[in-house]
């Protein structure tokens, strides 16, 4: 898999250090709130599990799955629900955990959809943010790293379902996805 990378952008140690900081901030912000932490399948799974392991307050875990790009490297703007949450979020404090906010279509759709269920609050926690590519006005409330306009893989992020299990985040060589 490493042959397909131009370079490593964020090392495993850097990821873990940043996650410990975010977990600490969430512990403070959500003390006594018993928040529902929502993992967006599949990209957020590694971030989500390391994040909740670092948190010391009680939390409820839930999972949601929405359509991704498939083989394309750009969002179509069309988002489809594949698997819904298993519990009600009415009057609950919700933290949506995302791998990356790129165009912003996915997360803004999700926040709009979940907000209609009357949660007490809803915030976005994203490992990565690519603000230069934004199409809709949305920003993560908690963010691990800002990245430039590269297609990145690893630590949950895929291209065509590959590279998710890399422990670090790397820049995919353009020739791997060019022409798609
Ligand atoms: P958005 O709807 O354009 O904000 O895209 C969000 C989703 O697209 C993320 O949850 C990722 O699954 C995927 N995505 C966006 N940029 C990248 C990238 O650089 N690498 C891998 N997946 C990405
Ligand atoms: Mg994806």
For the stretch 153-168, pLDDT in tens is: 999 999 999 999 999 9
Distance CA 26, CA 20 (A): 10
Residue 169 Cα to chain centre, angstroms: 13
> Tell me, what's the pLDDT at 68?
59
pTM: 0.94
Ligand 1 center to 166 CA (angstroms): 16
> Tell me, what's the pLDDT at 71?
53
Ligand 2 center to 87 CA (angstroms): 24
What's the pLDDT tens digit per position in 110-153?
A: 999 999 999 999 999 999 999 999 999 999 999 999 999 999 99
> Tell me, what's the pLDDT at 80?
82
Q: How confident is the model at residue 30 (pLDDT cuts 50, 70, 90)?
A: very high
Ligand 1 center to 152 CA (angstroms): 9
Q: Ligand 1: which atom is nearest the Cα of residue 105?
A: 2
Residues 60, 38 contacting (CB under 8 angstroms): no
Lining ligand 1 with CB less than 6 A are 43, 68-69, 75, 98-107, 151-153, 157
- Which one is catalytic: 99, 102, 129, 158? 102
Q: How confident is the model at residue 178 (pLDDT cuts 50, 70, 90)?
A: confident
> Tell me, what's the pLDDT at 83?
96
Residue 175 Cα to chain centre, angstroms: 25
Look up tokens 């403070």; give the residue.
Answer: 28
Ligand closest to the CA atom of residue 139 = 1
Ligand 2 center to 164 CA (angstroms): 9
Q: Ligand 1: which atom is nearest the Cα of residue 159?
A: 21
Better-scored residue on pLDDT, 177 or 101 = 101
Out of 3.30.1330.10, 2.60.40.10, 1.10.260.40, 3.40.50.2020, select the CATH number for domain 13-148. Answer: 3.40.50.2020
Active site residue 32: no
> Tell me, what's the pLDDT at 79?
76
Domain spans in the chain, listed from the N-terminal domain onward? 13-148
Burial class of 110 by CB neighbour count within 10 A (0 to 12, 13 to 18, 19+): buried
Q: Ligand 1: which atom is nearest the Cα of residue 158?
A: 21
Cα–Cα distances in Å, from 15 out to 46, 68, 104? Answer: 11, 23, 22
What's the pLDDT tens digit per position in 31-88?
A: 999 999 999 999 999 999 999 999 999 999 999 999 755 556 666 666 788 999 999 9
> Tell me, what's the pLDDT at 74?
63
> Tell me, what's the pLDDT at 179?
58
């Amino acid at each position: 898999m490493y042959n397909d990378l131009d370079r490593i952008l964020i090392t495993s140690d850097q990821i873990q250090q940043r996650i410990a900081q975010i977990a600490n901030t969430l512990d403070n912000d959500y003390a006594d709130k018993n928040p529902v932490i929502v993992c967006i399948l599949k990209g957020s799974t590694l971030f989500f599990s390391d994040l909740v392991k670092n948190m010391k307050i009680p939390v409820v875990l839930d999972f949601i799955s929405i359509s991704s790009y498939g083989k394309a490297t750009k969002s179509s703007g069309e988002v489809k629900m594949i698997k819904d949450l298993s519990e009600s979020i009415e009057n609950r404090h919700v933290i949506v955990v995302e791998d990356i906010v790129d165009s912003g279509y996915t997360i803004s759709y999700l926040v709009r959809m979940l907000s209609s269920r009357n949660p007490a609050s809803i915030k976005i926690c994203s490992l990565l943010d690519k603000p230069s590519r934004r199409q809709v006005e949305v920003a993560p409330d908690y963010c691990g790293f800002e990245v430039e306009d590269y297609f990145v893989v690893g630590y949950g992020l895929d291209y065509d379902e590959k590279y998710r299990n890399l422990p670090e985040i790397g820049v995919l060589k353009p020739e791997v996805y060019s022409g798609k």
